[in-house]
Amino acid sequence: MKQRALGCLILSGLFGVALGWWQIYVQDLKTWSEAQEYCREHYTDLSSISNQEEETSFLVNLSRTSEIWIGLHQGDSGGWEWSGGENASFLNWAKGEEKDKGKGDRCVVHTDGGWRKVDCSEQNTFSCFHNGLVLVKENQTWEEAMERCRLRHSDLVSVTSESVLLETLRTSREAQTERVWTGLRFLADGWLWVSGEAMSYRAWSPGETPQCPAWTRRCGALSLEGRHWESWDCADTLNFVCNIE
């Protein structure tokens, strides 16, 4: 079954949110819960979509049938959340789906015309994602962490979208430090990802965009409690998250 899914992965053209981040289309018909279980067993989870750019890429690469399960479902509180438990900040409902229909339709399928609420017991094909991240539970300085990632994996993680932020937080749940190193570094006159990826997304703590940090605080850490980036002392030793090639 996994070989079948991987075949679809190759044909899909691969939607990459970041290095080592893939969406996988699976042709098997399953209920939402069965699809979630499959994705968690073989990859990371059911797919999530956090902005219009990701929605457009999803349409281009993965919209193969009229209805595809994604990870969005209605939580116990009545709000819409992703399979990993994060509240949905971006919603792309099809026409007429914005209002609560009161039918008990608590799970969501992706269609070419937008997202639709359906009964979770329906059977549909689905999309999984694999985040390609690994938490290293060793305390290293920023430089040591970068060298370790590049030697054994690919690079320190580049948090280039809300989805990547959420998955980095999820990957870091068992971290032994309150923060984890990312690939963010202040060089010359600005912050950049050492992997070379664009700095179009920002997740600094509220009110903080450190334009000229102290020379000791020119490395970027992710606060696990605050769920935002912080300029941090590069000589401090933290756990860290790597991308996998």
Assess whether 30 and 101 both reside in one domain. Answer: yes
Whole domain around residue 212: which residue ranges?
Answer: 133-243
Contact 11, 32 (CB under 8 A): no
Q: Are residues 76 and 101 in the same domain?
A: yes
Structure confidence by residue, pLDDT tens digits, 56-109: 888 877 655 579 999 999 988 889 999 878 888 899 999 988 776 566 679 999
Same domain, 120 and 18: yes
Of the residues 130, 163, 195, the one at which a domain ends: 130
* Cα 19 from chain centroid (whole Å): 11
What is the per-residue pLDDT across 134-156, written as a single tens digit (0 to 9) for each? Answer: 999 999 999 999 999 999 878 99
Q: What is the CATH number of the domain that holds 33?
A: 3.10.100.10
- In this prediction, what percent of the chain has a pLDDT beyond 70? 86
- Is the pLDDT score of 1 beyond 70? no
Domain final residue, candidates 130, 150, 170: 130
Indicate whether 82 and 140 sit together in one domain: no
Question: Do 118 and 142 share a domain, yes or no?
Answer: no
pLDDT of residue 5: 39
* Pair (105, 148) in one structural domain: no
Residue 96, phi-psi category: left (phi > 0), alpha (psi -120 to 50), beta (remainder):
left
Residues 65 and 169 in one domain: no
Q: Residues with Cβ < 8 Å from 28, sequence gap 6 or more?
A: 1, 4, 5, 38, 125, 126
Q: Which residues, 6+ apart, have CB-to-CB distance to 105 below 8 Å?
A: 117, 118, 119
For residues 188 and 234, the answer to whether their CB atoms sit within 8 Å is no
Instruction: Determine the average pLDDT of the residues in 192-198.
Output: 89
Q: What is the pLDDT of residue 245?
A: 63
93 and 145 co-located in one domain:
no
Which pLDDT score is estimated for 241? 97
pLDDT at position 56, please? 85
